[in-house]
Structure 1
C-alpha cells in the first residue's frame, strides 16, 4: 500500500470526508485528493497534523500495516500499561498470587500449544503411531493434577511442582472441576485420608463449612472453611487460626474425590 492508500484508509476509518479532513488541516480539499492519489506529498508539519487528527502513527502511514492492525497494537499497549500499573499497586502477597496464576496459565498454554503441534506432526507423518498415553473413554476429559496439599504442616503448591493430568468422567458435575490435588497428612480424616486425590472447582461458591484448598504464606492446605479459622476435621489435629499478618487465598472448593 502507498502513502495515499494508507491515508485514505485512516480517513475512512475515522469517518471523515476529504473535505472534512482538509478543513481540519486548514488546506484545500483538492490537496487531500492529491495526497490520496499520490500526486503530491504533504510537508512534515502536515504529516504531524494528519497523525494527530486520524489517530495513527508514522509506522502506519509509511509501512505496510493496516489501520486495524495498528489500532489493535495501540490497544494492547494500553492494556499492558494498565496491567503494569495495577501490578505495581499490589502488595507483596498480591504480586506473588498473580505470579503463581500467571506461571500456571503460561505452563498450561505452552502444554496446549505443544500438544497441538504434536497432533499436526502426527497427522502429516506417514510413520506408524504407537499410542503410549492412556486412552480416554469417549465420555472422559483431562484435568490438571498437582501432587500435594497438606492436611498437616503445609506444602508449597502451584508453581514449584510439575503438573500431571488425570482423566475424569465428562459429566455435568465434573465439568465444574478445574484440577485435582493429592492430600498429604491426616488432619482431615475421616473424610479425606493421606493419599486421597480430591477434585477442586474454582467455579463453585465456597461457604462456611465447605472444604477448600487454601494457600497460607505460600503453603497449601486442605481445610474446612470456618468463620474465624481453618478447621481440621480430625479432632486430634489443631485448627489453623489466621492472624492479621497472614497472607491467605482460596484456590477452590473440594467437590469430590478422584475415583469415586
Structure 2
C-alpha cells in the first residue's frame, strides 16, 4: 500500500496550539458560511494546506497566517492566540495584494447574477492559463479560483505524488492529504496523473479516482506498482501472458508481466476529473 512518511513526534504544547488554531479557523469558516475552496481562493492559501490547518494537522506559516487574518478581517492573534502582536510584518503590500483586495471588495458589492458572471470569467481564465502552460501541476497547491458557491464539493483522501502515465512514478513515502472536488465518486482515494502515455483518455494534470482492489479483469484501467514505480495503465490478459498497455502506442511499449515480476495491483481507476480543457 501507499506508505506515509514518518515524522518526528510533536510536543503536547504544539498539539494544543494546532487544536486552538483549528478551532478558531473552523469557527471563522462556519460564521462566514464560505466553503473551504472559497476561503482558499480568496485568501491565497493553498486548499490542501488550509485543510491541514482546519484539521489541526499543521501549524500555519506566518505568511499564511497573515493571509487568513486579512481574509477574515481579524488580527492574527484572533487565529493564533500565541501571537502577541496584532499583525505579522510581511512588508508593504505588493500589486497582487492590492488587486486581490479590490477584486474581493468588488465581488462583495455585486448582486448574485453579476457574481456568477465574475466566477465564470475567472474560472475560464484559470483554464486558459493551465492550457497555455501544459505543465505538470503542483496538485497540492491547486485550487479552482472563485468557484461558485452553488456548486457542491466532496472530500477525498488524496496522495500528492503524481502517478505516471509514462515511465513510472514512485509512490512510497507519500503523505495523505484531503482534496475537495465538485463530483461525487465511490472511490477510496484520488491521485494526479503525470505523463502522456494514456492520452487521449487521461491527460497530465488529471485527477483519477481509485477504488482499492487486488483483482482486475482483462481490459480494465488501474493503478499498478511495478518494481517500485506506480503506473496508470490498461491491464491486458491474453493467451501469451499479461502486460500493462498504454493508449499512446506511438510513444510507449507494453510492459510485460510474469510470475517473477515485482508487480501488484493497487486499485481500479473508476473515474477522472479534469481541471483543464
Give TM-score scaled by structure 1 length: 0.47
Q: Could you say which structure has the greater relative contact order, defined with CA pairs below 8 angstroms and 6 or more residues apart?
A: 2
The structure with the largest helix share of the pair is 1
